[in-house]
Amino acid sequence: MACSIDTDFPTHGLLPKKETGAINFLTKYPDFNGDGVTIAILDTGVDPAAKGLQETPNGETKVIDLYDASGSGDVDTSTVVEAKDGEITGLSGRKLKIPGDWNNPSGKYHIGIKSAYSLCPRPLKSRLKDERKKQLWTPPTQPTCISGYER
């Protein structure tokens, strides 16, 4: 049986059939095309815009849902600055020294700023808020004398 499967690497958005062993599987089971199968992929390197991930052999949408848990894009780095005397000024106003062994021919750096708190998961934020409330608000609002006894 002649193999009509494309074995060149990379093809269709880096779907390496030969390198992953899929070529052997597809040769053995040529009718197995994944029709009716749903697969979840947990990987920070998946590009949903890749050509090979656009549609199934039946013309249906291949990627049904996407959740980026990698943190990619969390910090806006569209501000561009140039180094002066081996330093750049960050968006917080801090001077940031550029290591001498960095090779940046353009001399331009993309900078951004993000509150570490904004990167915290919701349960951690809730716990931090509760602890802060106990430290900052509870003591000043408690009476100094309760039922005749000093605190």
Residue span of the structural domain in which 51 resides: 1-69
Give the tens place of pLDDT for each residue, 60-117: 888 877 766 666 677 889 999 999 999 999 999 999 999 989 999 998 999 999 887 7
Tokens representing 40 are 């979840």
Q: Are residues 13 and 41 in the same domain?
A: yes
27 in any annotated domain: yes
What pTM did the predictor assign? 0.40
Judge whether 74 lies within some domain.
no
* Residue 30, preceding peptide bond in cis (omega within 30° of 0): no
Q: Tell whether 109 and 143 lie within a shared domain.
A: no
pLDDT at res. 148:
58
Nearest to 114 by CA among 145, 71, 148: 71
Q: How confident is the model over 21-38, as pLDDT tens digits?
A: 888 888 898 888 777 777
Shared domain check, 128 and 97: no
What per-residue confidence (pLDDT) applies to 51? Answer: 76
